[in-house]
Amino acid sequence: MALLQGANPLTRGPHVEADFSPSAPAPRLGFVSFGASRLEPGSGSLGLSVGPGERSSFPAPIRAVNETRAAHINGRADGAQGENLDQISPVGNSANIKWHQCSVGKLDRQELLQQKGCVIWITGLSGSGKSTVACALSRALHSRGKLTFVLDGDNVRHGLNRDLSFKAEDRAENIRRIGEVAKLFSDAGVICIASLISPYRKDRAACRALLPEGDFIEVFMDVPLQVCEARDPKGLYKLARSGKIKGFTGIDDPYEPPLDCEIVLKQTERDCASPCDMAEQVISYLEEKGYLMA
């Protein structure tokens, strides 16, 4: 509720005592009209008419809209895909949808955070070290004063994706949902670190297509199957080998390694860098591409 400044009250006329008895008539509601002609150019305030020749004013929030940096270019909303965003149209299975543009855009949020929003998508076999590297990377960036958020595949299945199985169609939907959430974090100016097997190239490519060029950074944990199986931190390879788990990536379901990823973190049985060292490789890439500054 706005506080109207000025000495003049909003009502004029004789003093009337309020009647709160049960027989009192219901109060009448009125509306105050904000006419365009009441806005004085350059005054920075709206005039509220209270009587002939009288006015009360209060600071208007319009200036903030004019002063903020534009969040869209050529009619395209910040972070949105497609054309004709000003029109009502169907989107997927939703009808009568219109993009609502906010005056605070991605560039404003990035300036506030002094970093550039992006998605670091860590993919690889189970046991390749994705989650460990993701957390090491988040910690290293946090120590540099950068805001991150980790979307871990298992963690997301505790809530948002708890209704999905590991069938092919559900795995695709799992990736799609995480990709959309990661995009929101990127639009917020956050460095989002997504850590999940995401075995199929087409699903990863669909997530890449959600973001502007360069803002999807694919990191491939290039670790041989025998190394991952030897680690087997969750005991899942053992269950898959015994037939107790069906459709397990690397055993009876394929993993499609990236063909054009931005970063490869390669490990072998004899050469295995520490999670912190691998995190520093990713940070070097972010620094080189300018993501750690606004």
pLDDT at 291 over 90: yes
Q: What is the pLDDT of residues 65-123, one digit of tens each?
A: 333 333 333 333 454 455 555 688 888 888 888 888 999 999 999 999 999 999 999 99
Q: What is the pLDDT of residues 193-244, one digit of tens each?
A: 999 999 999 999 999 999 999 999 999 999 999 999 999 999 999 999 999 9
pLDDT at 31 over 80: no
Mean pLDDT value of segment 18-31 = 52
Mean pLDDT value of segment 166-175 = 93
Mean of per-residue pLDDT scores for the chain: 81
Of the ranges 5-19, 31-45, 185-199, which is most confident?
Answer: 185-199
Distances (CA, A) of 183 to 149, 191, 198: 12, 10, 16
Sign of CA dihedral 71, 76, 77, 80: negative
Question: What are phi and psi for residue 165, nearest 5 degrees?
Answer: -100, -165
Which of the two residues, 168 and 158, has the higher pLDDT score? 158
Residue type, 195: S
pLDDT at 178 over 70: yes
- Please say if 89 is a catalytic residue: no
Distances (CA, A) of 21 to 26, 28, 29, 46, 105: 11, 16, 19, 38, 53
What percent of the chain has a predicted confidence (pLDDT) above 90?
63
Q: For tokens 């305030």, name the residue.
A: 45
- Burial string for 168-192 (b: 16+ CB within 10 Å, else e) reads eeebbbbbeebbebbbebbbbbbbb
pTM of the predicted model, to two decimals? 0.71
What is the torsion angle, in degrees rounded to the nearest 10, for the CA atoms of residue 181, residue 182, residue 184 and residue 189? 150
Q: Which of 11-15, 18-22, 211-215 has the lowest mean pLDDT?
A: 11-15
Which of the two residues, 25 and 201, has the higher pLDDT score? 201
Nearest to 258 by CA among 204, 208, 216: 204
pLDDT tier at 168 (50, 70, 90 boundaries)? confident
- What pLDDT is recorded for position 19? 54
- What pLDDT is recorded for position 54? 47
Token pair in block for residue 189: 């100016």
- Name the catalytic one among 128, 138, 186, 198: 198
Question: What are phi and psi for residue 221, nearest 5 degrees?
Answer: -85, 95
CATH architecture of the domain 114-289 equals 3-Layer(aba) Sandwich (3.40)
Q: Is 222 helix (H, G, I), strand (E, B) or coil?
A: strand
Please compute Rg for the chain using Cα positions.
Answer: 28
- Burial string for 226-243 (b: 16+ CB within 10 Å, else e) reads ebbbeeeeeebbeebeee
Token pair in block for residue 294: 């606004």
pLDDT at 281 over 50: yes
- What pLDDT is recorded for position 118? 98
- What pLDDT is recorded for position 276? 97
Distance of alpha carbon 125 from alpha carbon 153, whole angstroms: 12
Distance of alpha carbon 133 from alpha carbon 177, whole angstroms: 22
